[in-house]
Amino acid sequence: VLRIADPGDAVAGDLRRRLELATHYGSFRPGQVFTDGLKVGGRGPQMIVVPHGAFQMGAGDAEPGASDNERPAHYVRFARGFALSITEVTVAEFRQ
Q: Are residues 40 and 19 in the same domain?
A: no
Cis peptide, bond prior to residue 72, ω within 30 of zero: yes
Closest CA to 49 of 7, 2, 82, 8: 82
Q: Are residues 19 and 35 in the same domain?
A: no
Q: How far apart are CA 19 and CA 7, in angstroms?
A: 16
Q: Which domain holds residue 78?
A: 31-95
Confidence category of residue 1, pLDDT binned at 50, 70, 90? low
Q: Which helix (H) or strand (E) holds 11?
A: helix 10-25
Q: Are residues 55 and 20 in the same domain?
A: no
Confidence category of residue 76, pLDDT binned at 50, 70, 90? very high
Entry pTM: 0.59
Q: Are residues 82 and 47 in the same domain?
A: yes
Domain count, the chain: 2
Confidence category of residue 20, pLDDT binned at 50, 70, 90? confident
